[in-house]
């Protein structure tokens, strides 16, 4: 009688009922997971379609910007060439004037020295060549920045350099060595590494004095602590161009 009463009160086995309930719960979870996946898929597809629609417009804008930058760079090169040609013409005219018999030779030599120091004429002579580059490992601390090149150049001036150029760009008292994002610019022209710094001066003393300068100590720390690479070689003949951006701005009549 007890067994018959238990069968009538509990017609379903408890273990079977528990398994059935778990199956219902799992089924509901599966339905909700499917709904979530469908919604996520729809959002991804919508985002992809929007990107595909706007991609041509973005590509066109990028091409236009690149074209404008190229045009401005070409115009700047033309302007620099024009300035350089005019300066060369002025130097020829001045040389013709100074070649007169009534012109003081000391005055002519002084003007030439001033032109050389100012960077308005090309400089030729022996000196040193520094080739520097970022550290081989991918580390922001191992990347050369504008301040590093400034320190190197200032150290060379202190050591007695007569003329300096970075990647072919002549350094003068009005030269700007600056950072523009991840690039370094000289006179607003972007440089590519490795950087080549040429300095005209006495090779026998220029390097030793540079090592003792603030710039030399700065670079000693860079190479020793951060792995930045530097190679220094002697050069018997360097030809550094004039700075095309320099021109006469102020003049006064002598007494």
Q: Are residues 139 and 81 in the same domain?
A: no
Phi and psi angles of residue 182, each rounded to the nearest 5 degrees, phi first: -95, -5
Residue 18 lies in a domain: yes
Residue 246 lies in a domain: no
What is the CA angle 104-106-108, rounded to 5? 75
* Distance from C-alpha of 195 to C-alpha of 186, rounded to nearest angstrom: 11
Please count the structural domains in the chain: 2
Q: Are residues 130 and 91 in the same domain?
A: no
Q: Are residues 58 and 150 in the same domain?
A: no
User: Which has the higher per-residue pLDDT, 216 or 90?
Assistant: 216
CATH number for 167: 3.30.70.1880
Could you say which of 45, 67, 98 is where a domain stops?
A: 98
Could you say which of 98, 124, 157 is where a domain stops?
A: 98
Q: Are residues 108 and 224 in the same domain?
A: yes
Q: Are residues 84 and 112 in the same domain?
A: no
pLDDT tier at 229, thresholds 50, 70, 90: very high
pLDDT tens-place string over residues 33-66? 788 888 888 888 888 777 777 767 677 778 888 8
Q: Are residues 151 and 231 in the same domain?
A: yes
| pLDDT score for 159 | 94
| pLDDT score for 176 | 85
| pLDDT score for 133 | 94
Q: Are residues 149 and 59 in the same domain?
A: no
Could you say which of 98, 129, 164 is where a domain stops?
A: 98
| pLDDT score for 79 | 77
Tokens for 39, please give them: 């919604």
% residues pLDDT > 90 (the chain): 31
Q: Are residues 22 and 140 in the same domain?
A: no
pLDDT tier at 166, thresholds 50, 70, 90: very high
Find the mean pLDDT for residues 117-134.
86
| pLDDT score for 16 | 47
% residues pLDDT > 70 (the chain): 71
pTM of the model: 0.59
| pLDDT score for 58 | 72
Show the domain range for 57: 1-98
pLDDT tens-place string over residues 18-35? 545 545 455 566 677 788
Tokens for 211, please give them: 């090592």
Residue 132 lies in a domain: yes
* Distance from C-alpha of 80 to C-alpha of 242, rounded to nearest angstrom: 11
| 68: Cβ contacts below 8 Å, ≥ 6 apart | none
| pLDDT score for 208 | 93
Q: Are residues 109 and 92 in the same domain?
A: no
């Amino acid at each position: 009688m007890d067994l018959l009463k238990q069968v009538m009160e509990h017609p379903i086995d408890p273990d079977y009922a528990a398994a059935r309930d778990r199956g219902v719960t799992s089924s509901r979870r599966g339905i909700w997971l499917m709904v979530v996946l469908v919604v996520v898929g729809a959002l991804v597809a919508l985002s992809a379609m929007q990107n595909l629609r706007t991609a041509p417009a973005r590509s066109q804008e990028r091409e236009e910007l690149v074209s404008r930058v190229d045009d401005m760079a070409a115009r700047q090169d033309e302007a620099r060439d024009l300035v350089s040609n005019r300066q060369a013409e002025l130097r020829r005219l001045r040389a013709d004037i100074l070649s007169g018999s009534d012109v003081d030779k000391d005055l002519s030599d002084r003007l030439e020295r001033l032109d050389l120091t100012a960077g308005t004429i090309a400089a030729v002579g022996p000196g040193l060549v520094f080739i520097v580059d970022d550290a081989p490992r991918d580390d922001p601390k191992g990347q050369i920045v504008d301040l590093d090149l400034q320190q190197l150049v200032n150290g060379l001036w202190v050591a007695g350099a007569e003329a300096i150029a970075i990647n072919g760009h002549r350094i003068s008292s009005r030269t700007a060595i600056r950072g523009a994002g991840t690039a370094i610019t000289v006179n607003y022209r972007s440089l590519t590494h490795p950087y080549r710094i040429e300095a005209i001066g006495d090779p026998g003393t220029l390097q030793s004095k540079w090592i003792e300068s603030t710039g030399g100590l700065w670079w000693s720390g860079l190479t020793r602590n951060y792995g930045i690479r530097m190679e220094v070689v002697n050069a018997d003949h360097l030809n550094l161009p004039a700075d095309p951006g320099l021109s006469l701005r102020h003049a006064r009549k002598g007494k």
